[in-house]
């Protein structure tokens, strides 16, 4: 509802205006009346309105003087409409020159009043739209500067802009917000992941309201994490009369309920200055790396998950990931080189035994994960036994370079054999499944469950062989069947669509156009 202030020194005119139309039905609410300009000014000091309708001639302060004062001193951004008689038309023209929205001649005609109100409504909506666009542009610009700080890729300009447009007087944590199950979504494309991520981002902004600037999108874009970032300052919880843990849990629950997916938060260590926020972000990246071999929680705090020694605790993630890549490729030469690189990095940092344990634990967990990725049904206890028997319980001190290299090569051979066993024949079974049941609701997940293969790994195998996702392969096969029906049968297009697996005719037609370049009807006509 747009709020209206009526100003006229004649009470019967004020009452007449109130009764002339159904203001509420038109989207307006009369919030006040005044008998002259001075009284109107007093009202505007207390209340904000969207529209002022004022008589041109009034005692003490005229409508024209009221308008001039409001515009000169920026007392209100409300639209201004003057009431005037024919004899006062010159004053009305002057008012228009001073930023008056419109004028209405007395006696006030209902139709004319409605036209003026419609004009004001259009102007108001346009102004609100412009304000919202401007707000979003400013927010996006601020977000870019914040992301530069979070990534540690900033200059003094980025830092000054953030400090100028955000209250950074308190210490701050970086909080990574994830949809726990998003990575398990079968057959999800990058675009679908982005849509889910965008939904999460908007929910975060809705919850934070006036603090929505603290929410950032796509910090980890290149890693395809599909996360949302949140800069937590203590003032946010204080405004809600909550402690930090209580606030974050309440925030997490709100997101989980509204998106209907499990939500987890990774909370970095607090830094005292926004210029060091990249350190807190690095903490969340480390927590992310530990996912799976830690106690399952909904909110992970860096200080709780990583017990830092006086010498510091360092995860050489980049060099370990390099080693893991070589193991996955079963590249023995690359494995030995990666092990050498890892130990060189550890030596330069002068790390202690506690840090070595952390790094080896990270490696072992990732190795178990690699095996499970090949085969959902793999026996994890067997893998753990293989790990211990192959390397670390053979009388050789855990952390030995030679035995790490030997173990890594042995494990690479094991993974290679596991991969061959799993992939052998499974793709042919999936192909047969598609040919026989393409019209039914078959998914990569249902097929992986049927043939006891990890869905992510099956998807990788499928993409490697066919150069496309299972979903795209299935749709392409359905389109070829549809094309064959169009050429060799006289079935109606709606019937063909249903027989190849599409219940929505419009969706089928659009998909057909994408693949064949024309509508099914045109295709049939062209081919016959």
> How many structural domains compose the chain?
4
Convert 405-439 to b/e letters by CB count within 10 Å (16 or more is b): bbbbbbbbebbeebbeebbeebbeebeebbeeebe
Convert 88-100 to b/e letters by CB count within 10 Å (16 or more is b): beebbebbeeeeb
Compute the chain's Rg from CA coordinates: 34
Contact 496, 520 (CB under 8 A): yes
Q: Check whether residue 178 and residue 251 sit in a common domain.
A: yes
Q: Check whether residue 518 and residue 493 sit in a common domain.
A: yes
Q: Please list the pLDDT of the chain residue by residue as tens digits (528 residues).
A: 899 999 999 989 899 999 999 999 888 999 999 999 999 999 998 999 999 999 988 888 988 889 888 888 888 888 999 888 765 666 666 777 667 888 888 888 899 999 999 888 888 888 777 666 666 677 777 878 888 888 887 788 888 888 888 888 888 999 999 887 544 444 567 777 788 888 999 999 999 988 888 888 877 665 567 789 999 999 999 999 999 999 999 999 999 999 888 899 999 989 998 888 888 888 787 777 555 435 678 898 887 776 544 445 677 888 888 999 999 888 999 999 998 888 887 766 654 445 666 777 778 778 877 776 665 555 555 555 555 544 443 333 344 577 778 888 888 887 776 666 555 567 778 888 888 888 888 888 888 777 766 677 677 777 877 788 888 888 889 999 999 999 999 899 999 999 999 988 988 999 899 888 899 999 988 887
Phi-psi region of 99 (alpha: psi -120 to 50; beta: other; left: phi over 0): left
- Give the H/E segment covering residue 211: none
Q: Check whether residue 167 and residue 279 sit in a common domain.
A: yes
Maximum CA extent, the chain: 109
What sign does the dihedral 315-316-317-323 (CA atoms) show?
negative
pLDDT at residue 393, as a whole number: 37
Helix, strand, coil tally for the chain in percent (to 5): 65, 10, 25
Question: Would you say residue 117 lies in a domain?
Answer: no
Contact 64, 92 (CB under 8 A): no
Q: Check whether residue 434 and residue 419 sit in a common domain.
A: no
Question: Would you say residue 121 lies in a domain?
Answer: no
What sign does the dihedral 229-234-239-240 (CA atoms) show?
positive
Question: Would you say residue 312 lies in a domain?
Answer: no
pLDDT at residue 395, as a whole number: 32
Q: Check whether residue 213 and residue 224 sit in a common domain.
A: yes
pLDDT at residue 402, as a whole number: 75
Dihedral pair phi/psi, residue 49, rounded to 5°? -125, 165
Contact 99, 71 (CB under 8 A): yes
Q: Check whether residue 281 and residue 255 sit in a common domain.
A: yes
> Could you tell me the CATH number of the domain that includes residue 469?
1.10.10.60
**Structural domain ending residue among the three candidates 305, 338, 371:** 305
pLDDT at residue 251, as a whole number: 95
Question: Would you say residue 438 lies in a domain?
Answer: yes
> Could you tell me the CATH number of the domain that includes residue 168?
3.30.70
Q: Check whether residue 149 and residue 291 sit in a common domain.
A: yes
Q: Check whether residue 517 and residue 368 sit in a common domain.
A: no
> Could you tell me the CATH number of the domain that includes residue 81?
3.40.50.2300
Q: Check whether residue 385 and residue 301 sit in a common domain.
A: no
pLDDT at residue 143, as a whole number: 79
Q: Which domain holds residue 405?
A: 317-423
Q: Check whether residue 144 and residue 255 sit in a common domain.
A: yes
**Structural domain ending residue among the three candidates 271, 305, 339:** 305
Cis omega (within 30 of 0) on the bond before 107? yes
Question: Would you say residue 132 lies in a domain?
Answer: no
Q: Check whether residue 169 and residue 285 sit in a common domain.
A: yes
Query: CB neighbours of 84 closer than 8 A, spacing ≥ 6?
Result: 55, 56, 57, 91, 92, 103, 104, 105, 106
- The distance from CA 262 to its chain's CA centroid, rounded to whole angstroms, is 15
pLDDT at residue 478, as a whole number: 92
Contact 182, 193 (CB under 8 A): yes
**Structural domain ending residue among the three candidates 249, 283, 305:** 305
Q: Check whether residue 62 and residue 194 sit in a common domain.
A: no
């Amino acid at each position: 509802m747009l709020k209206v202030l009526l100003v006229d020194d004649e009470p019967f005119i004020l009452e007449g205006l109130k009764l002339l139309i159904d203001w509420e039905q038109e989207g307006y609410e009369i919030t006040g009346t005044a008998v002259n300009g001075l009284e109107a000014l007093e009202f505007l000091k207390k209340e904000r309105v969207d529209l002022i309708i004022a008589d041109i001639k009034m005692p003490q302060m005229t409508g024209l003087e009221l308008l001039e004062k409001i515009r000169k001193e920026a007392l209100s951004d409300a639209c201004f409409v003057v009431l005037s008689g024919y004899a006062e038309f010159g004053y009305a023209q002057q008012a228009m020159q001073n930023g008056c929205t419109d004028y209405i001649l007395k006696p006030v005609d209902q139709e004319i009043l409605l036209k003026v109100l419609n004009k004001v409504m259009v102007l108001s909506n346009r102004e609100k739209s412009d304000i919202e666009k401007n707000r979003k542009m400013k927010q996006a610009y601020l977000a870019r500067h914040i992301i530069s700080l979070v990534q540690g890729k900033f200059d003094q300009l980025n830092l000054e802009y953030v400090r100028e447009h955000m209250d950074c007087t308190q210490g701050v944590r970086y909080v990574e917000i994830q949809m726990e199950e998003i990575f398990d979504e079968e057959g999800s494309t990058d675009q679908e992941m982005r849509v889910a991520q965008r939904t999460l981002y908007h929910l975060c902004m809705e919850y934070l309201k006036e603090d929505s600037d603290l929410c950032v999108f796509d910090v980890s874009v290149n890693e395809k994490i599909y996360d949302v970032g949140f800069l937590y300052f203590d003032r946010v919880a204080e405004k809600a009369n909550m402690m930090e843990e209580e606030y974050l849990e309440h925030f997490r629950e709100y997101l989980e309920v509204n998106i209907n997916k499990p939500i987890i938060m990774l909370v970095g260590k607090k830094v005292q200055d926004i210029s060091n926020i990249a350190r807190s972000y690095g903490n969340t990246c480390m927590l992310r790396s530990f996912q799976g071999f830690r106690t399952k929680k909904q909110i992970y705090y860096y200080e709780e998950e990583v017990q830092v020694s006086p010498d510091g605790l360092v995860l050489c993630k980049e060099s370990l990931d390099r080693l893991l890549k070589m193991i996955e490729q079963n590249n023995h030469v690359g494995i030995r080189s990666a092990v050498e690189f890892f130990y060189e990095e550890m030596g330069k940092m002068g790390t202690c035994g506690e840090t070595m344990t952390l790094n080896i634990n990270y490696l072992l967990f990732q190795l178990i994960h690699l095996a499970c990725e090949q085969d959902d049904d793999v026996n994890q206890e067997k893998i753990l036994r293989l790990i211990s028997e192959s390397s670390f319980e053979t009388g050789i001190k855990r952390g030995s370079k030679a035995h790490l290299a030997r173990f890594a090569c042995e494990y690479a051979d094991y993974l290679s054999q596991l991969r061959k066993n799993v992939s052998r024949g499974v793709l042919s079974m999936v192909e047969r499944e598609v040919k026989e049941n393409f019209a039914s609701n078959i998914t990569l997940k249902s097929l992986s469950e049927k043939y006891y293969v990890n869905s992510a790994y099956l998807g990788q195998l499928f993409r490697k062989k066919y150069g496309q996702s299972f979903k795209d392969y299935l749709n392409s096969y359905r389109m070829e069947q549809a094309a064959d029906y169009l050429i060799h049968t006289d079935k109606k297009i709606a019937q063909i669509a249903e027989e190849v697996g599409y219940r929505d005719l419009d969706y089928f037609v659009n998909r057909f156009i994408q693949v064949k370049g024309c509508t099914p009807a045109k295709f049939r006509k062209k081919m016959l």
